[in-house]
Structure 1
Amino acid sequence: MSHVAAAKNLYNNLAYECETAMALVDILLEEQACLVKMETGALNSLATRKEAMMLDLEKRYLANIELSKAAGFAPDLDGIALWVDVLAADEPRLFGTYSTLRSTLTHAQRLNTTNGELVTEQLAGLQERISILTAAAVAEQKPTASDTYGPKGGMAQSALTGGAMPRAVIR
């Protein structure tokens, strides 16, 4: 493949990756809105779409690594950056497209991290509420002296001197 054809091919690939990365950012923003509003119904669909896009971007990144390596550049981000610099002499749009791709992916990474922190925070809150409810259920089944009036309206046995447990009657 000629140098000019390689430059145009890389431009087309990176332009597609930019579109995918921007769509990924949109999904991450939608995911964040659902997390903030605690609207969990849409999260499964968003997670599936997000994963598919991330896998596609990873596959394309690995393909670019192989292409840059075949062109004599290091098989890493720095190698790809140098490869883009060389090919940009024949396709100037590569600079802007590659820059946009990198900044969009950085933005997506920050959003994904933030969304993960939101999930962790919400899970901690749920764990705390579950612990409170579990403790209340255990206390209901095994009342203590401090449960003078228990959750079922009765008095704890230890609070009585006579033996029979009165019950509150609500009519």
Structure 2
Amino acid sequence: MMTEQELLETLAGYPFERHEHPAVFTSEAADKFTSHLRGVPTKNLFLRDKKKKNYLLLVVRGDKRVDLAQFSRDRGLSRVSLGSPEDLFEKLGVTPGSVTILSVINDQNGQVRLFVDSDLSQEDFWHCHPLVNTATLIMKGEHLLEFVETCSHPAQMVNVPVVSENSREG
């Protein structure tokens, strides 16, 4: 699995800013250290279907509340939920809190499908972790999408449903 330093060297052809901060485990916690930075924070959800046959990485705006039940139905999948920390490390080489669009570089077997919320296409700069949760990178969204494609993980741009006041989980 790739280290942060190896990833940064691989990203050398793309301009980015790197900002260090204490370890964060949620997008809300990251906002305390990154809200003053340009660009939009992202939330990265490592998901699996009920039968553990399909693994997905879903990237959305940091403030978006995703309706996973509707997202599952829209994709024709049995209900998706968060994948286990063990599966996360096995498939993407990161631990909870460090999930990032860039972690697809560690999915050498192509087991994880990448979905990116189409809302992000309206944003020039995106925040993402460099495989660790003690730093945030700021990169152009178009560069991130180019990079993941070079990792054999072209992003599927999708409309991601949000939880409404009336919807219930379960």
Scaled by the length of structure 2, the TM-score of the pair is: 0.24
Q: Which has the higher contact order (CA 8 A, sep 6+)?
A: 2
Name the structure with the higher strand share. 2
Scaled by the length of structure 1, the TM-score of the pair is: 0.24
Larger radius of gyration: 1
